[in-house]
Amino acid sequence: MSSELSQDDLDYIDSMFDMMDIDKDGSISIRELTKSMAAQGGKPRNQEIQKMFEEADMDGDGEIDWTEFLDLTKKKMKMGKTQPAETAKVVERKEFKPQKVQINVEPPKNVLDTQKKTEILKMFNRMDPNGNGFVEQGEFEEYLSSQGTHLSKERMKQLYTSILESTTLDSEMEQNGITFQDMIKYFENEEIMEDNVEIDIDPAKMENIDDIAEYFALANLTNTQLDGSSMTTLANGISRKNTVKETMKDLVSRKTIRKENLGDQSKKRWKPFASFKRRVDRKTVMSSPSGIIRDYLPGNYSTADLVKFDDLPPIKPVSTIVRGVQWIQGEDGKPSRLLLPNNFSGELETDIATSETLGYYGAFLAESTAENFTLDSRHVLQDFTYGNDYFETWVLQGAGGAALESHDFSHLDCPLTPMKKSGYFVLAKWMNDARTDIEITAFQVPTRHTIYTPGGVMHTNNYLKGTWRTMLADGPIDEGKLESKGQPFRFSFAN
- How many other C-beta atoms are found inside a 10 Å radius of the C-beta of residue 251? 19
DSSP string, 209-239: ---HHHHHHHHHHHT----HHHHHHHHHHHH
In a 3-state reduction of DSSP, which class is residue 106?
Answer: coil
pLDDT digits (tens, 9 = 90+) for 41-90: 656 667 777 778 888 887 777 788 877 787 777 776 666 554 444 443 44
pLDDT digits (tens, 9 = 90+) for 106-151: 444 567 788 888 888 889 999 998 888 899 999 999 998 888 887 7
According to the model, what pLDDT value does residue 136 have?
A: 93
Residue scoring higher pLDDT (471 or 234): 471
pTM greater than 0.85 (yes/no) = no
CA triplet 278, 281, 282: central angle to 5 degrees?
70
The DSSP H or E segment spanning 263 is helix 262-269
According to the model, what pLDDT value does residue 77 have?
A: 65
Are 409 and 455 in contact by the 8 Å Cβ rule? The answer is yes
Q: For residue 22, count CB atoms less than 10 angstroms from its CB and return exposed for 0-12, middle for 13-18, buried for 19 or more.
A: middle
CA distance 460 to 477: 11
Instruction: Tell me phi and psi for residue 27, to 5 degrees.
Output: -150, 165
